[in-house]
Chains A and B, each alone.
Chain A
Amino acid sequence: MLFPSLNMINNNSVDMDYIRSIWECLASICNCWHCTDDLGSQGIEPNERTHLLADSVNQSPALRRSNSADLSNDYSQSLPKKDDQNALSRLVQNTAINMINVGALDSHTLEHQEYTDRIKLYSQRLQQQWNNIQHPGFVQKGLLKDVPNHQSYLSKGIHLDDTAQMRIFIQKSVAGVLGIQVDHREAVVVPFEIP
């Protein structure tokens, strides 16, 4: 008496598997048809059978991937609820991103302790970095910075001829600057000819 019932259960489970596979196949075909229908006819009025969240789910990259992949494997019986959840959470997330939330301005205040801790942390890290790295923007200051071994040049005596020559050049240049004259021949301020 126990055997036939077990056998029946086995048969039932086999039948259920068979029906489920057919159902999955049908569902995948329907899903494909639905996709092509959506692509082909975008101007159709929504009726009572269209899901509010279906479009956002269909357009999500996750589901597009599953459509292109093996549909019969991905379309398990627990997925629709999960998709609804995902779509809902995505809607909430998008709304939160797009909403202008002035109230959020107050929520970004740091605790005083954390503030001081971070200041210390940053100063420590910066000290470490700046001790290790020679910054390219650091400009060497001073005269003769591009002359190697400048002590030897500075320690040499200056010949009198050189100083005399430099003096002559300077005197000539000063005389030249003083000799500059502006010879204006026309009126500097010209009135506009306004009728």
Chain B
Amino acid sequence: MPVKKFITGNFYDEAVLFPAVKKARRAGYKIHDVFTPFPIHGLDKAMGLRDTSLHTAGFIYGITGTATAVGFITWALTVDWPINFGGKPYFSLPAWIPITFELTVLFASVGMVLTFCYLCQLAPFVKKDHFNPRSTDDTFVMALECTEKTNEEEAIQFLKELGAEDVKVQYKETGWWLGRYDKDTMPFRKKETEHHKETITQ
């Protein structure tokens, strides 16, 4: 995956972040993403993100589950091995509804979880890098992607004027790659071990 150049800034307040996002878009900067420790209502709209297609995927998985259940039970109980249950017809739909429902839910939920992981590029052994580890703790991190047209100095100044702190240029690989967290990018491991040592020595 190609390494790209980003300019990142820390925001401490939603009330500062929202106008900043809008101004950055209006100024024509390419916002790579905004990383927040918790979901913020309306941020997707402010960033101009399109609706996720996860629903559509979920609907398709659900329909697949329904079709699988109805198809399989019909084949099993009317063609392959018809059994007379209490004089009911071989094709007795009411009795199959619960299983159909369950398979619909199963297919939809499992499929959507996997699709969600794919869309967010999450999987076991996939290395995810933080622009700033504080985006998992208490600040909002906006990352502007630098294109060949971007004036770096101007962009840094622009972010600072919008109220960002800790503005810096970073080079990051985007997309998928396999690997594991580097020790120095593990934000909390170090502290924990130090704390652990302290408790032992005490």
Chains A and B belong together in one complex: no
